[in-house]
Amino acid sequence: MSTTHDHPHDSAPVAARVRHVEALLEARGHLDPGEIDRRIDEFAAGGSPAHGAAIVARAWVDPNFRERLLADGNAAIAELGYSMGSALQDQKLTVMANGGDEHHVVVCTLCSCYPIALLGPSPGWYKSEAYRSRVVRDPRGVLREFGLELPGSTRITVWDASAESRYMVLPRRPAGTEEMGERELAGLVTRKGLIGTALV
């Protein structure tokens, strides 16, 4: 197993500074009270696992799009009208493709960084300390608890998200779906599949 980490060491002091700056901006009239929370809520409301599912379905039917998605996630999703950026911060999207002998799973070990625009609000288990700490140490065991039993020969890579970098899994296309169109294929993709805690 390998783990990719690019997270700041401790987000608590940063969060405290952000709250302090927000209070100063509000006190000086540069920011309406609660404006940042409202913008975050608006951004989250626009996110849906259906967006990630549509991206996966396109990658399954269009090999050229798949190549572009794996090479530059941000540019590829923009082709379909999606974006990782927000009014507050740009985020780099990296998409990893599951294969016959390789499986990817996403976590944020320090908080709950997550591609909301593509997957909707993060599930409670993704934010839980149990998942965040254990999936790095024992990914095979955690996936088993989700009902996903992978062969012993499968290499599991855990990707650790950060404020700047977000990850999404490109699941393997299920066998027997060759006659299905994009919309039908998208209907097979779940949020767990996009995080890597389930197959499609």
pLDDT digits (tens, 9 = 90+) for 92-113: 999 999 998 999 999 999 888 9
Is residue 200 within 8 A of residue 190, CB to CB? The reply is yes
Residues 98/172, Cβ–Cβ less than 8 Å: yes
pLDDT by residue (tens digit) across 5-36? 444 444 456 657 767 777 777 788 877 776 66
CA dihedral 87, 50, 169, 71 (to 10 degrees): -60
- Comparing 16-20, 84-88, 193-197, the range with the smallest average pLDDT is 84-88
CA atoms of 184 and 2, how far apart (whole Å): 34
Residues labelled as active-site residues? 108, 111-113
Query: Which CATH fold would you assign to the domain 2-8+48-195?
Result: Nitrile Hydratase; Chain A (3.90.330)
